[in-house]
Structure 1
Amino acid sequence: MSDPQLEDLSRDVDEAVRLRARLVQDVLSLGPARAAREHGVTRQTAAKWAQRYRTGGAAQLSRPAHRRRTTQELRHAALTAPLWMPTTKWSSRSIADALGVSQSFVARAWEAMRSGTAFCDDLTAAAAGRQPAVLGLLVTSEYVVLAVQLTPVAPREDAAAPARVDPAVHRSLRAALVSDLVRPGVPAISAADTGPFWEEVAEAADPGATLMAVASAPAPVPAEVSVRATCRDVGEWLSLFSSLVEWGALLSPTSALQLENDLRAWARAPRRAFTWVRRPSRAGGGRGPATRSAARHPGPERVLADEIVLTIRQGVAEGRLAGGDRVTERYLAGRLRTTRGQVRTALRLLERDGLLTITTGHAAVVPVLTTNDVVETYAARRALGTLVIRAAVRWSPQERQSVEDALDALERWAATGDVHRTGEADIAFQNTLAEASGLVRIAPMLEVLADHLRMFIAVMGLDYAYPIDAMVRDDRAIFEAIDAGDGEVAAERWRVKIDDAAAYMLRQLSATRSRPARRP
């Protein structure tokens, strides 16, 4: 069980400290050999940092007190802040506070992103008379590529005022550009490995659009990409931000937040190339993830709410919190480096979803798990999941592929024997299946219920370890039945899966309550 200082260091502003802390966390949970493979270091290096932690505590992972970070290191931290700040609600002020520098220092670090260049002028000329839109992002050890489509637009005599661009779009574009600064730690891949990325980009493009690739360094690009541009250095690449902002709404707010969240999750441990492709739009209100309900719209409040839940679950898992404990707005605002007002708004969302109870004094109460909670949650998932599965029989090839990818991820985690991550992959499979059903109101409901399950599992701690083979067997059987077009068989397998999971959790809950309390 990790200590709070180690958890804090895993989110430190210093990249080297973050990597050490995460390496030690994995050594403690996975062992030195496997942790070394996951982080791309030698076993000796993994064992060295774990030993320093064991003998001297988390402080041994920090930089020596007498060594101050150089101006260049601080500038790098300011630029990459969109990838490591605890929440997506960062600003130049919150970054300055986290780094212990002035706000003007952060502004100066960002100067390259506000300065236009001749390269930017060339791109603007290439996009003249066409509306640009971001389709995808590829980050490898050698280059970053921004895939853009250029759609012809009819000339207008009256100059319409530019539409207001959501701030989330600007934040995600900034995060996309600074990913070039962390790519040296990404394992190398071959040009052939980028083929699936470009296939998805071509599929996501609108009919009649021209594909454009903007790369931070020389990169292999397929022949169907007719407009290509390569930056000479990192300064020219960062300067793209000024052009991208002038181009207007390059992404929808939903896509922008999805891109930023995916990038931030990847940047915590960039052990493979990063790929992201915008989900294709569907005319006429088509089915699929692009038509999801706003009930689960990943706006800033929802993103912060998810981070609050994650913080509380981590506190429970580490033994710092337990069912019935109060978590104040002040604590959460300090932990996540945001304002109490933003925390209060996010807590209201969580209270509405039934995940937390808000008390007088603006504090959230960690739920105490009861039999009724388990029965009600699984009954709802059983009924809603049955509807989802019957609708999923009509999935499109793209939707089927997304579900199969989620199943493959589940089986890869199962092969490692990691119960917790396999369980997360199981929930991800179920959520992906819900999205593929096209039921835009029911899918977000299932996601909220999945958050309930995660909280239940956190509260139960080590007492919950659902059999890995059962998860793989049930999910594979459900997928194959849907793929065969037999919705009734798939629905029955779903009901059996849910009933077994509910019975298991109730048994573990009963065993936990009957266990004698530990003496201090």
Structure 2
Amino acid sequence: MYSPEFRREAVAALRTSTLAEVALATGASPTSLRRWANRSDLNDRPRSGRPPIQATADQVVEALVATAGARISGRDYSTRALADATGLSQSIVSRSVRSLTLPVTEVAGGRELVLVASGFPMVIVGTRSVEPADEAVGAGQVGGSVPPRRIQRRIAGITAALRSAGVGRWGQRFDSEHRQVPTAELVELIRGDADFLVFDPLGEVPGGLITGGEARVSVCTDFTEFLEALKVMLAGCEDIPGALLDLVAARVRHGLEGVLWRESAQAELTESSITSDSMEISSWLPKETRSITEHLAIALREEIIDSAYEPGDRINPRLLSRRMRVPRASVDAALRRMVDDKLLDGSRGGARIPLITTVDVLDLYAARMAIGEVVLRSLALRPQRYLVPVQLALRQVEVSAPTRSGIDVEDADLHFQQELARASGLRESARTFEAVTLRLRLFISVLQLDYSPASDRIVSDDRAIFRALSRADAKTAVEVWRGKVDNAVRHMAGLLGRRRFDQQLWTQLTRSLG
């Protein structure tokens, strides 16, 4: 390909030499010389053909993956699903995703995350070694926790969030306009016997400032170098918690300012939830007090979300025990109880996430609809004082809805429904309804269903049910309840794909209930 300067010199030579002489001297063809002589602009012209789109595709995929949160491990964020959502070819999307992560073969396990903190001008990530697994684990899993492919995709989620949030441009910012957290407070987090990776584009972490005792610290001032080191660090972890992914995804639009996730903070949160009844449902039997086994069964739902367990995966009790800071024997007892109550699958040894079909879900919702009708008819006949706990639960739903958090809205709504059952005065119905609720929670978690888009409708339905019960109007309460359950099932069907939703079966299961 000839340069613009070459073309200009050849055209200038035509003024004093013949076409044949210039062609012989320059090596250009006579046809090209004639064409150049007739052009007013001899600069390069855009070449025909398909324009390169990989760079654009990288930005599009990066934006989608950055805000996926814990759902990055699900089917909605497979390369095929991303290709369908963006209109790009799957091969182009695959290249974009590969640029965000490492090959599965480089996912090693053996470490755990202890800290992730971010705020201009610094990002800190810490990991530490964990004890070797004390039991056999499922095939294809790292350290008894999460399969390598899921770790690979979660690395992509973290990398995409850092890129999309503009962390790579922190070195170009003006200090006074963007600093929100003092450097000393961030550095103070680097403590304990752990390995820390720090992105410090402004070079504010002198060796003497780090006083973390036995902490081993690596500092990167170049963003590309930091990302590559971070990928390797995360690939060495046996898990990247979903709670961390959700937190990072929520802060992307804020430039990852104010991110603070600590393994110890997660433990404190778990312990506080064990002692609080505000947003929990009780376990199999309505009781005034709950055993640690029952609390573990409820908390396992959060563990399923955090580690992105899928149907058929074996649950690692060692990891669960360490995360919740409870004895291993208590975890084993909880898992055995859940197996006995068919909440988990124990047919192949250990405790596994059950294989769930949409027929199972339709069956469960149909049973829930029937029991709910009985509960509402009974509650409508009771004195108004029994509605006080229901009213308090309704306020929790109203508070949770504006957050648009699927987990918060779902928890509050299920708690409201459970209070309806408790207030009905029907002990057997309440007991059955509660068992169905536990199974429903598990199904929602395993299938990764997100009810946050329906939060406004959930609030409206719950208010309508409460108003009807306040008027002792059982008929209206039941009608709203039936519509509420039907909407939940159809919302689920929309998320899973209507090709998997048996409309005829659902109609047959619920028709006779009217």
Identify the TM-score tier after normalising by the shorter chain. Answer: 0.3 to 0.5
Bigger Cα Rg = 2
